[in-house]
Structure 1
Amino acid sequence: MKLSHLLKPWMEQSVMDCMISGLENDSRRIHPGDLFIAYAGAAADGRLFIDKAVSSGAVAVAYDPAGFPGNCVLPESVPCIPVPQLSMQLSSIAKQFYDNPGYFLNITGVTGTNGKTTIAYQLAQAHHLLGQKAAYIGTIGQGNVNELQLLDNTTPDSLYLQKLLHQYKNQDTRQVCMEVSSHALAQHRVDALEFNQAIFTNLTLDHLDYHHSMENYARAKSLLFARESLEWAIINQDDAYHKIMAAAIKPQVKKLTYGIHQDCDVRAKKWFMDIYGTEIEVHSPWGQHQIKIKALGQFNIYNSLAIFSSLLAAHYIPEQVVEVMTQLKAAPGRMEIVAHTPYVLVDYAHTPDALENALMTLNQLKKGRLWVVFGCGGDRDKTKRPIMGMVADKLADHIVITSDNPRTEEPQVIINEISQGIAPTSKVIQRINREEAIAYALGNADENDVILIAGKGHESYQQIGAVKHQFSDQEVVRRLIQK
């Protein structure tokens, strides 16, 4: 594509034109023929690496002129185009370069504090089982759910996201089911995407280090529901913030509400749960149906209602949807059963609400005592730490506090902040080393006990400082049990 075509609104006629073969905002990944897109990011200022990008083969540079670093000189060997508020323009620039791939795809965006991964992952499975090629994008990776490739973020940056959609389109994918984080919405990463459906799960305490208040957090989430492109908005009516999402919806967009406690369009009236799964009686505009799922917990009832609503809104036959939902597999690290004696589960629960939901579910099913092994991530929202301690103290019989991903924080400081929410009379075991914490629980639990290892779920690493060390809760449990 010609540079003048891609950057027409910002490019003066006197500027030398050239052909662009790729887009890149990381100088380390530049290929000859790329346009280097340089702006100030959260961790580094890309404009400081313009020379490196050009020496690696970039044939042009688009840069944000605001606050341009004084020690940075633009090269004269390639065209350099100033684009004001460049980070906000990335999505539309990438959309133009990749020829608007989203136009050829049905894109469902799932947003909320908890449940995004399960809903998007299982929704992609369901579309595939119902005969449409589908891709997933989110916390546990991207692509076909049986062959996921890892991602750095829940929602990729604008350039990579449009590149993925372009690949999916060329692979004849029809459905894309993606998690949409509040960060992605606030940072304009998905501005140029044409979503067909938007799903709201819930809003609970998280990310206040970024948004500063629940009101700001809710407003960021509501941006997904203000899209002109939407055909359906699917909203959890039981959540306290549902009205904020509903208020953002454009008049032409159809709305479906789901829930358990409130009058809504798709409602679970009755359910039965055992260690093998849950059976739900669902009432909806499509009639009354019995849905069986291989999942535990009231939160998974909500997730299933969202999936059911989305599939029926997509015009699938209800009876086929009911049959497919019995076949859906849980996302990795989401209430994943790793051992049976004792009963050990690994879950991604890393917010107070998610931890409470998981522990409440296991309390209903346990035959012995309930153990919880968990920590909190470093360099993230600190306000939730004592609250998670309080939740564990209220619902677990035994608490083992350990490290999650401490990042640049001191692990013992994080553990101490979690402990502030626990009564002084409660017995708490502290082990900074996560493997030692898991080993303690396994070594002291009886065969009828239940152990929940929470916080990291699917992750195959533990970040200490700036280094990611190989670490998997599941692998640790299996290795320790074999011993």
Structure 2
Amino acid sequence: MKLSQLLQDDLFVPPEWDREFAEVVTDSRDVQPGDLFVARSGAASHGSAYINAAIQKGAVAVLQEADSGFRCEFGQTAVPVFSAPVVSARLAAWLYRRYQQVCHLPVFAVTGTNGKSSCVSYLAQLSHALGKPCGVLGTLGNGLWPELASTRNTTPDLSVVLRTLAQVAEQGGCRAAMEVSSHGLDQGRVAGMSFEGALLTNMTQDHLDYHGDMESYYQAKRRLLLDYHTGFVLINRDCSYGQRLLADTEIQGQRYSYGLVTDEVIAGDAVQGYAEGNVQHIGYRILALDSTGISAELITPWGQCCLQLPLLGAFNLANAVAAIAMLAAAGESLALLVDAAAQLQPVAGRMEVYRPSSGDGPTVIVDFAHTPDALVSVLSSLLPWQQPLTLVFGCGGDRDRGKRPQMLAAAMKYADSVWLTDDNPRSEDPQQIFADTMTAPGAREAGIHLEHDRALAITQAIQQALAQASSRRGGLVRSGLVVIAGKGHETWQEIAGVKHPYSDAAVLATLGYEARRGSHGGSQSGGRHAV
């Protein structure tokens, strides 16, 4: 492909600078020799700051979002830099022309504050079990499930999205599921896409450092259901923002809702026509929830059944029901989906259970919970275990500071012992993060353990839980539960802008712990399409 073919009549390219390019890249870190680097305007910086870095890595040309103009930059050779006021629309049109096969691949979009990764994983697992390979884009990685390449963004740039979907189609994928973040929607990373179905898992406080307030955050999420063509939408009605969307008359097309239902609904004759207006309802009732899994009754427009899941936590039941409903709405058999759901595996870093390989010790739960609502969901779901509960958690740096004391308030409400430690401080002072978090009412009097060294905090929390269990009379209480929240599946910790090798799982391994069962996190292989 030549530059003139991309730009066509919008920008004149002198024949002597009409370069051939291999791929379009919007992140200078991913440039390979022969690529075209697109320097766009971003929320925090402009891509023009990385032009020289892209050239040093082998970019043969640069398209810059700026006032019209042309210049040369010199690396090993002269590289043309073309400027235009608007790049995104032109680039999107060219990408859709190039990856035409993507237009025929059904894509499910999943948005929400919590549960996006789990829902995408469950969609992929269920589709795979039905013999229909599924592509994935999101926090877990990009590619055809389960062989995923690592990614830096929950929702990558459109060039990466379309290129990945094209690869999925070429590899025999029948559909794809992708996380669509509020950042991605606000920045147009999925501009022009159509979706088989769109799912809203929930909305609670997060990302206010970017959006400013909850209304702006809500409006960003709403754009997925309003501004994009979707075959149907599925909305969590147990969320107040979900109820608002269900009542939104501007959202067109078939709507489904999902959520908990009363015993009267389950027992009644509402299986046929369980609907209100143009909204079809999917409901579930928990029958049993313990350390082995979940049993629930499920009522849907496609029938009523019992659902058995080898997952932990009521929120994971909600995520699994959402995934089942999405595929059923797309025409898959409810009976086959329910059978396949009995084999679902948790996502790496989401309610993973670790137990000591030998000897005594508390059961450890590792979860990615990094918002107040997610922390409440995790901790409250463990109350039926009737075990003393210890929590190790941290708050991310350079992110919404307002949620920090809310997270500690949730911790103090549900946990018997709380250890506040570092998550990813990023460029922020860890002591400032602690100070913000400790503004929660009653925190100073609650005996919160403060330890910046995350590995040490985990070690000491487990040792304390074991010591307290051994001191209880009669041996009636086991070693308790230790929840490690925040980081999930990550294999690094970012401190002062530097990523250091680290994982909660590796720390637990040194303490003699092993996962109760394997988790489908996907292989984090490298590769050209890793962003």
Which TM-score applies when normalising by structure 1?
A: 0.92
Indicate the residue corresponding to 1:399 in structure 2.
Answer: 418
> 1:124 and 1:248 mapped to 2: Cα distance?
31
Distance (whole Å) between structure 2 residues aligned to residue 387 and residue 9 of structure 1: 54
Matched, 1:350 2:351: no
User: How far off is 1:481 after superposition?
Assistant: 3.2
Q: Which residue number in structure 2 is paired with residue 274 of structure 1? A: 290
1:8–1:318 distance in 2 versus 1, CA, 3 Å: same
The answer to whether the 8 Å contact 1:293/1:325 transfers is yes
Answer whether contact 2:67 2:83 (CA < 8 A) is retained.
Answer: no
CA separation of 1:36/1:148 partners in 2, compared to 1, >3 Å: closer, same or farther?
Answer: closer
| 2: CA distance, partners of 1:92 / 1:219 | 25
Residues in 2 aligned to 1:23 and 1:31: alpha-carbon distance in whole angstroms = 10
Correspondence for 2:500 among 469, 472, 477: 469
Give the equivalent residue in structure 1 for 2:518.
none
Within the alignment, does 1:11 sit opposite 2:11 as a pair? yes
CA contact (8 A) 1:238 1:261 kept: no
Per-residue deviation, 1:24 = 1.9
Residue identity matched to 2:282: V
Are residues 67 and 479 of structure 1, via their aligned partners in 2, closer, same or farther at CA, if it must alter by over 3 Å? farther
Change (3 A) 1:335 1:35: same
Between 1:152-161 and 1:205-214, the stretch displaced more is 152-161
Give the AA of the match of 2:204. T
**Per-residue displacement from partner, 1:79-124 (whole Å, max 9, x unpaired)?**
544332324654444333x323421311001000001010001111
Q: Aligned partners of 1:427 and 1:414: how far apart in 2?
A: 18
Structure 1, 438-447 or 255-264: larger mean CA deviation: 255-264
Unaligned regions of 5+ residues in structure 2, if any?
Answer: 263-274, 470-477, 515-531
Match in the other structure for 1:293: 309
Label 1:401 to 1:167 Cα distance change in 2 as closer, same or farther (>3 A).
Answer: same
SS in 1 for 2:322: helix
The one-letter code of the counterpart of 1:291 is L
Q: Distance in 2 between matches of 1:9 and 1:234?
A: 42
Partner of 2:403: 384
Distance 2:71 2:13 in 1: 22
1:27-46 mapped onto 2 (5 Å cutoff): 27-42=28-43, 44-46=45-47
Query: Are 1:91 and 1:189, in contact at CA under 8 Å, matched by a contact in 2?
Result: no
Alignment partners' CA distance in 2, 1:468 and 1:248 = 46
Match of 1:452 among 483, 503, 515: 483
Q: CA deviation at 1:477?
A: 1.5
Amino acid at match of 2:201: T
Whether the aligned pair in 1 keeps the contact of 2:21 and 2:36 (CA below 8 Å) is yes
Q: Please give the alpha-carbon distance, in whole angstroms, between the structure 2 residues aligned to 1:375 and 1:51.
A: 37
- How far apart in 2 are the matches of 1:78 and 1:463? 34
Structure 1 65/455 Cα, relative in aligned 2: closer, same or farther at 3 Å?
A: same
Distance 2:188 2:155 in 1: 11
Q: 1:363 aligned to 2:383?
A: yes
Deviations 1:429-453 (A, max 9, x none): 1111001110111101134311100
Partner of 1:426: 446
**Contact 1:265–1:284 under 8 Å retained in 2:** yes
Give the superposed CA RMSD: 2.5
Q: Which residue in 1 is equivalent to 2:160? A: 160
Q: Structure 1 residue 228: deviation in Å?
A: 4.7
Change (3 A) 1:432 1:40: same
- Tell me which residue corresponds to 2:524: none
**Cα distance per residue 1:274-301 (max 9 Å; x no partner):** 1111111011111111111111222122
Question: 1:280, 1:290 within 8 Å by CA — same for their partners in 2?
Answer: yes
- Shift in CA distance, 75/480, structure 1 to aligned 2, threshold 3 Å: closer
The amino acid that maps onto 2:508 is V
Aligned to 2:300: 284
- Aligned counterparts, 1:57-68, within 5 A: 57-66=58-67
SS in 1 for 2:382: helix
Counterpart AA for 1:122: Y
Q: How does 1:69-468 map to 2 (within 5 A)?
A: 73-75=71-73, 80-87=81-88, 90-96=91-97, 98-246=98-246, 247=248, 250-251=251-252, 253-261=253-261, 265-339=281-355, 341-366=361-386, 368-423=387-442, 424-445=444-465, 446=469, 447-468=478-499
Amino acid at match of 1:379: D
* In structure 1, C-alpha distance between the alignment counterparts of 2:222 and 2:239, rounded to whole Å: 13
- Distance verdict in 2 for CA 1:136–1:403, change over 3 Å: same
Deviation, structure 1 residue 44: 4.6
Return the alpha-carbon distance in structure 2 between the equivalents of residues 56 and 478 of structure 1. 38
Q: Does 1:47 align with 2:48?
A: yes
Q: Which has the higher contact order (CA 8 A, sep 6+)?
A: 2
Distance in 1 (alpha carbons) for counterparts of 2:310 and 2:205: 28
Q: Could you tell me which amino acid in structure 2 is paired with residue 436 of structure 1?
A: L
SS at match of 2:285: strand
Classify the secondary structure of the residue corresponding to 1:405: coil
Runs ≥4 residues deviating over 6 A? none
Partners of 1:11 and 1:25 lie apart in 2 by 19
Question: How far is 1:73 from its partner?
Answer: 4.7
> How many angstroms apart in 2 are the aligned matches of 1:375 and 1:57?
40
Q: Report the secondary structure of 2:195's partner residue.
A: coil
Number of equivalenced pairs: 477
Change (3 A) 1:2 1:437: same
Residues 227-259 of structure 1: CA deviation (Å, up to 9, x unaligned): 4531111111121112453437653x2211111
- Partners of 2:153 and 2:190 in 1: CA distance: 13
Percentage identity across paired residues of the two chains: 37
Length-normalised TM-score, structure 2: 0.84
